[in-house]
Every structure is written in structure tokens, then in C-alpha cells.
Amino acid sequence: MKRILELFAVAILGGLVVFGLQKYSTNSNALEKNSTVNIQETAKNDSKSNSIFVNNNVASKERNAVGLDFKDAAASIIPAVVHVRNTRYVQQYNPYDIYFGRQQSSKMLKQEGTGSGVIISPDGYIITNNHVIKGANELEITLSDKKTYKAQIIGKDIETDIALLKIDATDLPSVSLANSDNIQIGEWVLAVGNPFNLNTTVTAGIVSAKSRDLEGSKNIDSFIQTDAVVNPGNSGGALVNTRGELVGINTMIYSGNGSYIGYSFAIPSNIVKKTVEDLLEYGHVQRAILGVKGVGLDASIAKQLNISQTEGFLITEVTPNQAADLANLQKNDIIIAINTIKINTFAALLGYLKSKKPNDEVTISYLRNGKSLETTVTLSENDETYIPSLGITIKNLSKYKKEQGVKITSINNSVLKQSGITTAFVLTAINGQNIYSIEDVATLIKNRKTNEYLKITLKNPEGEFVNFIYR
């Protein structure tokens, strides 16, 4: 039996491989204070957003089908890719103090990790991976011309593993974003980053797969898979097409030893774009949902259901009064496309929805009793969810999610009830990490280590805090 490959984030993760402290986790502190920026529109795509990343340096030449040449694409993207240095300070205690019954002594240790980033606007906004900047006390950005800047965190999203940084600079080279829905399997791409601290390294490969769902990735369900060489330090770097347009942010690799062995994975640019725009506008990412449960079809499931369709998303449950229900989608309908984008797996459906905002309208093509139908759906916002491990239902406090905490709307937990906890309480932190949305709660719980204690912090109407610890 073949050995099962372990999943690593590229920085193995970014800074963490240098830190040598722990395995990769998308757990993170809550979002930093939001900042506002005007991002000019330079192109049109199928999103309703009026803001798109600035393009001030990227060549737009179509590649000649004969005589493949990556020089133009490389020349256009290299100046927009940066080196990210994450410095943090941790307190180290002397274990022998406890052993000998002495008063504990400690010292502060400086630890550094590195990764990559991509400039998306001339005034200094930079995209990278959340895991690259995790736990940072200081962030230093080095441009391709060797100039260095201190960076501040504008926003970060645990689920998509995207962070937005800002440096105090102007007239910077920046990258434009392609529509990642249009990228094709077999298309040439370049990966640009700083593996092993080797600045501005460019590698080439092809798109090996789209909408790749990796078991163990936990949050991102729709990677672009390539065979471009990617190694620790490439995290947060650019994946571009032959026109030098960003199609993804390099994030993960499959490996048994933490280094490249054949496949790397990038977050599609459409998801990146939507995430950054939400961070700028709301300070947090808004999640659009269809309001259905179901399963991706394959030959085995089709045989069990006695149907001929082996691709698509089979709806097994429709949530009342949410998007799908309001559009009259029903149990046993099979979704085969959204806005003409083919949906052949569950990951493809989730990946497309992550590029959309609540209240966006989408056209869904589906099968009902073998008949092809089409309907327009206005996507709902995911603002309430049940957390089984806590026995509570929680809801976002506001649309903008700048206020710390989530509201408890119902309690199915006898311990909390007997302790006097009511729906007037607000859940403010988990394991010491502040939360601002239901997505923060779900992700922190999902990503905790096996047998790790779960400490929740609640605030009562008078502003007093109480803690509960779960095993």
C-alpha cells in the first residue's frame, strides 16, 4: 500500500518552517483595524463589484502559439512580487525551574520566518497568505529593487488563508488579476516567489487540475493545481498566466518531506479578489451561500441512485427561506452549472460561491427528473450557524463585523444553561483568540489540535467576562 502523502503549506509553512515550533494551522488572531482604499477599475469581469486591482505595468500581449517564450510574462511580474519577513518574539521559560521548585525565569526569543507577497496597487497594498504573517510582531517587505519597508496588517481571513498588507510607498509596480474561471487545464503558468530565501525565483509549469479539493486543507475547497516547482518560501507568491496576469496565490504543496515533489496548489484569483475587496470594505469577508446540502456525484453514487448523471451537485436538503428555496430549487435537483461555469464536483460549487457576495444574482442550470432547467438565484448571507461541539447557535453581530464577538441565539448545552448563560451573552474569544464572525468560530474549532482544550470566553450584558473550558 502506497504511503499517504502528508499535506503541507508551502512555507511549511512560510515562517513556521524557520520558527520550527508547530505544524501549519490556519488559526489566527482576529482582524486588525480596517482601512479604506479606492481601487480603480481597469477591466470588466462577471463580478458586480466596481473595484478591481490596479494594473500599471503588466504587459497584455497574447502569447504566440509557436515558439513558447515566458520572458515578457516574467519581466512584468517580477517587480510586483515581494519578500515578506515575519519577526515575532516569544517568551521561553526554563523548565528546570519547575523541576527544582525555583521561581520561574524566562527570556524573550526572536524568531523569524519568510514568505512571499504580491503588490496589487501602486500605493502599497500587498497580498500574501495568512499563515505567512501569523503571529507577527513585525513585518518587513523587501521589493525586487532591494528597498525595504515596514508593513501593517490591514486585514486577514483564516478560511481563505489570505492577508492584506500595506506599506508606505507610491508608484509601485503592481499586478493585474485574470478571471481564474477562464484558466484552462494544460495552460502554461509561472510561479514567482522567494523559495528558501532565493529572491525572485521563477518556475514554469502547466495547470494540472482546477477546483481541487484537498483532504486536510480544511477550509479552501477549490485550488488550482500545477506542476510548477514551488517550495517553502513561495507561500503568498504569484501564479500568473503567460500574459503576466495573476491567476492565483501559491499556498500549498503535496509532500512527504516538506519539499516539492510534483504538485503545488494556488488559491484562485477570483477568490483572492473577492476576499481583499471584502476586507477593505467591511473589515471581514462576507460569505455567500446557496442554502443547500448535498453531495458531488460520481459513478458510485449515480449507481446507488439509479441515475445516469455522474457529474454535478445533487441537492439532498434545501434550507427554508434561503436562496435556493426562494428560487424553487428542490431536493434531488442536480446542479450542473452556475453562470455557464460547469459544476462537476462539490469543490467546484464551493469554489465558485467563494468568489461571490451575498445578494449577488447567479444563473443556475440544473436537472430535475432528467429535464434541463434554469433559474436565477439571489445568494444569501451566511450569518448564523450551529456549533455542535459547543451546543450553541451563533449569529454575526452586524454586517460589518467590526465589533468583537458573535451573538448567541440559542443554547442546547446543559452546562452553559445551569451556569446561567443565556442568549443575552456574546461569545468573544476562543483559546485566547478574538473572534468577529461565525466563520472565525467555526474555523478555530475545526482547526484545533486533537485533544486540545477548548477555552471559550463569554461576555454578559453588563460587560463582565466568564470562561468555560471544554476537553
Q: Which residues are catalytic?
A: 131, 161, 235
DSSP classification of residue 193: E
Cell numbers of 431, please?
483559546
Which is nearest to 355 in space by CA: 463, 222, 206?
222
> Of all helices (H) and strands (E), which one includes residue 313?
strand 313-318
Peptide bond into 444 cis (omega under 30): no
CB 127 within 8 A of CB 120: yes
Find where cell 477568490 sits. 271
CA distance 199 to 142: 9
Please tell me the distance from the alpha carbon of residue 223 to that of residue 226, in angstroms, as a whole number.
9
Pairing outcome for strands 223-226 and 406-411: unpaired
**CA 229 to the chain's CA centroid:** 21
Among the listed residues 413, 382, 27, 438, the one whose alpha carbon sits nearest the alpha carbon of residue 218 = 27
Phi and psi dihedrals of 271, rounded to 5? -70, -40
Give the number of other Cβ atoms within 10 Å of residue 468's Cβ. Answer: 15
Q: Which residue has the cell 476562543?
A: 430
Question: What's the CA gap between 467 and 428, in Å, rounded?
Answer: 10
- 377: buried, middle or exposed (CB in 10 Å: 19+, 13-18, 0-12)? buried
